[in-house]
Structure 1
């Protein structure tokens, strides 16, 4: 049975998860928290590197609380994260409180959505999209 390595969003512990069991309620072997609860994980300088090294594709929403398009896009991002639970890791980075992460990824406008595979960026898009357009863009980005 093939497995993939993923980081726990709560304790950053490494977990091997069988592909066939992604739809199950996988929990962390260390802290027993859900690995895939369908909700975006908040990334900080402390956990970002661990989250990015997941064997799952990583979808990052760079946003700020004062940004109206970001706030309007948040429910779209959360809905798609719930629908794609176990297929990708969804992360939110507040560019105000995590300015070093925003600078590292050269964020010039928000919201900016980036997709990483194997720790390398494969695609990005700037601006808020309706759910249908975001899902379509994301599926194309994930297929790269």
Structure 2
């Protein structure tokens, strides 16, 4: 995840808050600790009570979306805030207590179709710590 963030923004990843709320499609999917945040599988989740998300079996995570993008010759880019449209969907976003800023990792413009588009939004508190994430995958 650090490499994707660095490639998209040109900056190093902000530090993790002691606990990070993981959202998928705007819905809480779990919480991880700062120590767990470095493990790629820690980000894989599903909205609570669901078996699939956006037509994909759970768990889903940002690594799979990023790997598919790179395999297709795409590149991650960064955008301020959370995109209002992801592919063909207008996702609801979580309300994140304590967040004062957000940045999203999204595919380059050539990979913004109705199936492959995604956004992985990182929510930052006043100390520039990541307090929450929200993964949105476009659905066909």
TM-score, structure 2 normalization:
0.32
Structure with more helix by fraction: 1
The answer to which structure, 1 or 2, has the higher relative contact order (CA under 8 A, 6+ apart) is: 2
TM-score, structure 1 normalization:
0.31
Structure with more strand by fraction: 2
